């Protein structure tokens, strides 16, 4: 493996700590991202991924001048949401309650369709990433149910690679989505073109998530195969403006560290399109950290505090704070009201992440 941590001979981290701001670092990325390395990253066996990364579109499109696209990276430039097939502003409030029906025993059955598809996603203006997705979007659909419901997910693998859906929650092993585990060993890993039905009861109430669980696991997650699974308590939470925020990142040069950090995939998106909320209204944020390759992530809000409910499994908050730190797979619910109108920043309190995309604004009206 040749110098996996380097981009054009200089590591991204070294660029940042040596006082060079994110702008030239990104310019360098735009101009010189190597398209090799994915072979090594994936153990050298998954050539079609490498072909995707090295194909006509590559992973990065320099702008026409061949110069830095940074000036429109963080101020005014936007990605092509239509080409991506989703907009992070819509993902905030897009909850999928499934197709519901009543079972003979009185329980609610919720059915969902998830399809794994390979797709190029523009993760920041001009920065393209050959992703693996559920339903063509990152994060995948936000599945939502009430505790005790029966959940049925019809999974089709239309990707070039074997995948699964591993849910967090309480369920039997055959439906756990782990390769090689289950009543039918084929039930573990779902080969390209194959399908599987995951079925289990929604428990416990709280904020959970799902992701692929095929090795190399870091790659199957980092490529984009994850989504959120919310189990509402039987006694509903207080009415609120509810927002999904999945903290993620993208290793666009396959050196096993991230070049782009974001909430809901697109770096700097909520800087360009602030999250609009109403003064005095209860806001509930479903906050999930799925970030690969970094040990921690964090969420910090300016000029306000929130009640924090770790994993959303208790009705009582653990803390009133303005900053939480999360490892990969950790998640929690933040509840707050904005007493003042205006623009309020939110960002990772890991300064390096903010400069590479993980920052945004609430616009309180
Ligand atoms: Cu996978
Ligand atoms: Cu997990």
Per-residue pLDDT for 69 more than 90? no
Q: Tell me the CA–centroid distance for residue 102 and ligand 1, in Å.
A: 32
CATH number at residue 103: 2.60.40.420
- Tens digit of each residue's pLDDT (9 = 90 or more) over 90-145: 999 999 999 999 999 999 999 999 999 999 999 999 999 999 999 999 999 999 99
Clarify whether residues 146 and 211 are in a common domain: yes
Judge whether 87 lies within some domain: yes
Judge whether 194 lies within some domain: yes
Per-residue pLDDT, averaged over 194-199, amounts to 93
Judge whether 181 lies within some domain: yes
Per-residue pLDDT for 160 more than 80? yes
The string of DSSP codes covering 193-204 is T-EEEEEEE--S
How far apart CA 22 and CA 314 sit, in angstroms, is 40
Q: Tell me the CA–centroid distance for residue 77 and ligand 1, in Å.
A: 31
CA 314, 317, 322, 328: dihedral to nearest 10 degrees?
A: -20
The pLDDT value given to residue 110: 98
Judge whether 199 lies within some domain: yes
Per-residue pLDDT for 51 more than 50? no
Q: Tell me the CA–centroid distance for residue 160 and ligand 1, in Å.
A: 10
How far apart CA 264 and CA 229 sit, in angstroms, is 15
Clarify whether residues 245 and 181 are in a common domain: no
The more confident residue out of 103 and 36 is 103
Clarify whether residues 249 and 302 are in a common domain: yes
Clarify whether residues 267 and 317 are in a common domain: yes
Ranges of H-type helices in the chain: 12-17, 22-32, 38-41, 47-54, 81-84, 88-92, 217-222, 269-272, 351-355
Per-residue pLDDT, averaged over 219-230, amounts to 97
The pLDDT value given to residue 3: 35
Judge whether 4 lies within some domain: no
- DSSP annotation of 73 reads T
Our count of domains for the chain comes to 3
Residue 174 burial class via C-beta count within 10 angstroms: exposed 0-12, middle 13-18, buried 19 and up: middle
Clarify whether residues 264 and 181 are in a common domain: no
Task: Provide the token pair at 258.
Answer: 């991230």
Task: Provide the token pair at 120.
Answer: 């190029």
Judge whether 163 lies within some domain: yes
Clarify whether residues 189 and 278 are in a common domain: no
Q: Tell me the CA–centroid distance for residue 292 and ligand 1, in Å.
A: 14
Q: What confidence tier does 218 reach under pLDDT thresholds 50, 70, 90?
A: very high
Percent of the chain with pLDDT over 90: 73
Q: Tell me the CA–centroid distance for residue 253 and ligand 1, in Å.
A: 19
Ligand (nearest to CA of 160): 1
Percent of the chain with pLDDT over 70: 78
Per-residue pLDDT for 333 more than 70? yes
Judge whether 1 lies within some domain: no
Q: Tell me the CA–centroid distance for residue 92 and ligand 2, in Å.
A: 21
**Which residues span the domain enclosing 279?**
241-364
Residue listed under structure tokens 């579109």: 57
Clarify whether residues 61 and 90 are in a common domain: no
Clarify whether residues 75 and 105 are in a common domain: no
Per-residue pLDDT, averaged over 225-250, amounts to 98
Clarify whether residues 315 and 204 are in a common domain: no
Per-residue pLDDT, averaged over 134-160, amounts to 98
């Amino acid at each position: 493996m040749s110098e996996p941590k380097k981009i054009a001979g200089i590591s991204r981290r070294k660029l940042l700590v040596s006082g060079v701001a994110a702008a030239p670092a990104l310019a360098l990325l735009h101009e010189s991202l190597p398209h090799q390395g994915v072979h090594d990253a994936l153990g050298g066996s998954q050539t079609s991924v490498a072909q995707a990364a090295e194909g006509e579109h590559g992973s990065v499109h320099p702008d026409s001048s061949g110069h830095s696209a940074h000036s429109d990276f963080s101020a005014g430039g936007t990605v092509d949401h239509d080409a991506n097939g989703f907009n992070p502003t819509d993902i905030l409030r897009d909850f999928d309650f499934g197709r519901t029906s009543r079972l003979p025993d009185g329980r609610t059955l919720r059915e969902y369709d998830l399809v794994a598809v390979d797709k190029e996603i523009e993760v920041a203006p001009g920065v393209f990433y050959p992703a693996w997705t559920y339903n063509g979007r990152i994060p995948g659909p936000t599945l939502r149910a009430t505790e005790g419901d029966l959940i049925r997910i019809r999974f089709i693998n239309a990707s070039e690679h074997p995948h699964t859906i591993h849910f967090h929650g309480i369920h039997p092993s055959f439906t756990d989505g782990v390769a090689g585990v289950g009543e039918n060993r084929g039930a573990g890993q779902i080969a390209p073109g194959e399908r599987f039905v995951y079925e289990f009861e929604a428990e416990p109430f709280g904020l959970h998530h799902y992701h692929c669980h095929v090795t190399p696991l870091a790659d199957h997650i980092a490529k984009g195969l994850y989504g959120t699974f919310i189990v509402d308590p039987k006694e509903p939470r207080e009415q609120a403006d509810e927002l999904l925020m999945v903290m993620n990142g993208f290793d666009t040069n396959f050196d096993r560290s991230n070049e782009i950090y974001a909430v809901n995939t697109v770096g700097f998106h909520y800087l360009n399109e602030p999250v609009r909320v109403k003064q005095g209204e209860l806001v509930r944020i479903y906050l999930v950290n799925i970030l690969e390759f970094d040990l921690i992530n964090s969420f910090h809000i300016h000029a306000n505090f929130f009640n924090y409910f770790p994993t959303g499994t208790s009705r009582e908050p653990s803390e009133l704070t303005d900053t939480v730190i999360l490892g990969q797979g950790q998640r929690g619910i933040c509840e707050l009201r904005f007493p003042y109108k205006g623009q309020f920043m939110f960002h990772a309190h890991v300064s390096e992440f903010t400069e590479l995309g993980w920052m945004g604004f609430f616009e309180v009206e």
